[in-house]
Structure formats: C-alpha cells, structure tokens
C-alpha cells in the first residue's frame, strides 16, 4: 500500500502531466491545415514530454490518407514521421477499439506501425487510435528507449484523451481543407481550377516582368472529345479527362502550374521556360497520349490533344489575361490548320 507521501507525489505528477497535455491541446485546437496540425502535434508532444520518437500511422488507400499525404508534400518533418500500413495489418495488431495500447515486449511484432526507414531504438511504445468522423484511420504513436516509459501497467486515460482531442481537431481541419479544395481544385481531376490558376498566373507574370524572366503558357484541348461523350457517355468522358490529367501531371515540374480550365481545356503555366522548351514538352505529352491507351467499354481509345503556346518574351503581352488569350489564339490556329 502506498504511503500518504507517495500518494501525494503521484497526485503532483499527474497534475504536471495533465498540464503538459493541456499545453499540447491548446497548441493544436486553433490550427486549420493538415501540415501545421501534424507538425505541431508531433513537435509539442516530443518537447513537452521529452519523448524521442513521436509519429503517426495511417491506413493507406483511403481518401483521407491521400488528402493528408498530399498536404504533407512541403513538410520536411512529416515524410519521416508518417507511416502507412494496410487496414488488415493495423486491425490485426490493434483490433477496432479506441483504447490506447501500451507495449514494452516484442516490439518487433509492431514493425508495421513504425516508419520503415527508421533506425529507432524502441523498447516501449504507446499506440493511441485516431479517428475521423467515427472511423479509425490510424494511430498516434510514441516510443522510448526506456522499457518502463510505456509499461502496460500504466493508466492510458490521458493518452486516450489526447488522441480524442486530436481526432476532433482532425475532423475540423478536414472539413476546412475539403472546402478549400472545392474552392481551388477541380473535383473531377483534382487539378487546380481556373480561379486558382489565374491567381497563380498573375503572380508568375508579375515576377517574370519584374525580373525579366522567361514565362510560357500552353493552352490545350482534347481532339474529338465530343465523339467520346456522344458514343460512350459522359462517364467515359470523365475517365478520359482523368486519364489526360494524369499524364499531364507526370510531365510537369513542381514549379509548373497545371489546371483544368473548362470542359476539355487545360492550361499549363511554365515559369522559366522558353517557347521552344514549352513546345518540346507539349510534343512529348502528345506522343505519350498517342501511345497510351485507355479502354472504354472494351474499346481501346487513344486521346489526342492540340495545343497552343504563348510566351512573355515572344508575345510581349502587357498583362496576364492577354498572354492567356495569346495561347488560346495559338491553339485555335493550330486546330484550324489540322482540321
């Protein structure tokens, strides 16, 4: 039986721990984007509790995990601290409950939950399931070199509370990010929409003008796309648009801006790119589309595209809308020549 002093010490320790958890919660409650939410959570837990290893495990393949991973692209911390596993692996280890799991034996059995390229020395770990809209999507994990740090005999109530608060924050951020994506992204192809592209183009145009840099625009549309919709239906047309968007994405650099402009029209904004380089890029895209089939209702279809290019140095446009119109006019003339 514990002495009065031991009980008093334990109460004080619990109060200190509770205050630390409150500090972490206060940091994450007002965040409204994925990257900052995850970075702040992982950094604050490590800072407040002096825990060497803090990371997130997500079940792969879900819309949520894809949305999250896309948001993590510009982070230096998160690619190393977010691990993907299959639903069967996750549930095989933890079941479907929400109670945190504490382990300090046979850590290797939980290898599927630990980042694959890590060389961490973990002798005990805490695994707290996190959920989104009532569905478990992964876990918040903590690991230590001390075997008694996360002993199964410890009470996991505060860990469960933190995971719950994080899940609530995640739900709020997800709702906010989905609204943002609807505002700036085309829902079918997930490319930027016209509004977002024009905002980015204005910035790139002003930068290129100010510093006398190269800037090109490629305007393209799908040849005989009406035939696809008329003969195979609009669902098939949507599949073709997604197919083309995927190939365009493969050929663009991180600095390029790719958007679905309207209907079957796409625009690529190409900073630091001359007319010649832009044309070479579009010819490569034409070649790949011409040799990469998509099967529609058992029929092999090759979707060809036409394009027009305008550049700041060649067309000497006074503003970005004029440069965009020059590329659109070049597309029209190219289609007229090949009609």
pTM: 0.61
Residue 16's pLDDT band, with cuts at 50, 70 and 90, is confident
Tell me: pLDDT of 146 over 90.
yes
Q: Which of 184, 215, 245 is the last residue of a domain?
A: 184
pLDDT tens per residue across span 151-181: 999 989 989 999 998 998 888 888 877 767 6
Average pLDDT over residues 288-317: 91
Picking from 33, 81, 24, the residue whose alpha carbon sits closest to that of residue 56 is 81
Q: Are 156 and 128 in contact (CB under 8 A)?
A: yes
Domain end position, chosen among 127, 153, 184: 184
Per-residue pLDDT tens digits for 47-87:
999 999 999 999 987 767 777 777 676 677 787 888 899 99
For residue 129, is pLDDT > 80? yes
What pLDDT, on the 0 to 100 scale, is given for residue 1? 57
Both 131 and 69 in one domain: the answer is yes
Are 177 and 203 members of one domain? no
Q: What is the mean pLDDT of residues 282-301?
A: 91
The SS3 call for residue 166 is helix
Structure-model confidence comparison of residues 79 and 306, the more confident one: 306
Given 184, 209, 226, the domain boundary residue is 184
User: Which CATH number goes with the domain that contains 229?
Assistant: 3.30.70.270
Domain membership of residue 89 as a residue range = 4-184
Asked whether residue 249 is assigned to any structural domain, the reply reads yes
pLDDT at 93 (0 to 100): 94
In this structure, is residue 189 part of a structural domain? Answer: no
Higher pLDDT, 24 or 222: 222
* C-alpha distance from residue 162 to each of 49, 75, 127, 140, 150 (Å): 13, 23, 12, 9, 15
Task: Specify if 174 maps to a domain.
Answer: yes
Are 203 and 173 in the same domain? Answer: no
Overall domain count for the chain? 2
């Amino acid at each position: 039986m514990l002495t009065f002093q031991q009980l008093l010490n334990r109460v004080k320790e619990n109060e200190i721990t509770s205050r630390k958890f409150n500090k972490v919660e206060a940091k994450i409650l007002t965040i409204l984007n994925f990257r900052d939410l995850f970075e702040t959570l992982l950094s604050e837990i490590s800072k407040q509790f002096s825990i060497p290893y803090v990371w997130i495990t997500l079940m792969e393949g879900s819309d949520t995990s894809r949305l999250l991973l896309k948001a993590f692209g510009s982070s230096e911390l998160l690619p190393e601290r977010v691990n993907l596993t299959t639903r069967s692996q996750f549930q095989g280890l933890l079941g479907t409950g929400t109670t945190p799991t504490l382990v300090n034996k046979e850590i290797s059995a939980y290898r599927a939950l630990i980042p694959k390229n890590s060389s961490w020395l973990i002798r005990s770990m805490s695994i707290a399931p996190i959920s989104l809209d009532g569905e478990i999507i992964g876990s918040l994990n903590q690991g230590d070199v001390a075997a008694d740090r996360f002993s199964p005999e410890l009470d996991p109530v505060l860990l469960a509370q933190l995971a719950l608060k994080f899940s609530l924050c995640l739900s709020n951020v997800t709702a906010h990010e989905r609204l943002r994506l609807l505002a700036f992204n085309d829902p079918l192809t997930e490319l930027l929409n016209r509004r977002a592209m024009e905002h980015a183009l204005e910035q790139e145009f002003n930068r290129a003008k100010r510093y006398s840099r190269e800037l090109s625009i490629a305007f393209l549309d799908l040849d005989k796309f009406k035939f696809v919709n008329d003969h195979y239906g609009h669902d098939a047309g949507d599949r073709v648009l997604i197919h083309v968007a995927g190939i365009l994405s493969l050929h663009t650099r991180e600095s390029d801006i790719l958007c679905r402009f309207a209907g079957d029209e796409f625009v690529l904004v190409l900073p630091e790119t001359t007319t010649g380089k832009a044309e070479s890029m579009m010819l490569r895209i034409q070649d790949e589309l011409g040799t990469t089939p998509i099967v529609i209702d058992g029929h092999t279809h090759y979707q060809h595209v036409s394009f027009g290019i305008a550049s700041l140095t060649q067309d000497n446009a006074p503003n970005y809308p004029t440069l965009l119109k020059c590329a659109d006019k070049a597309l029209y003339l190219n289609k007229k020549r090949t009609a």
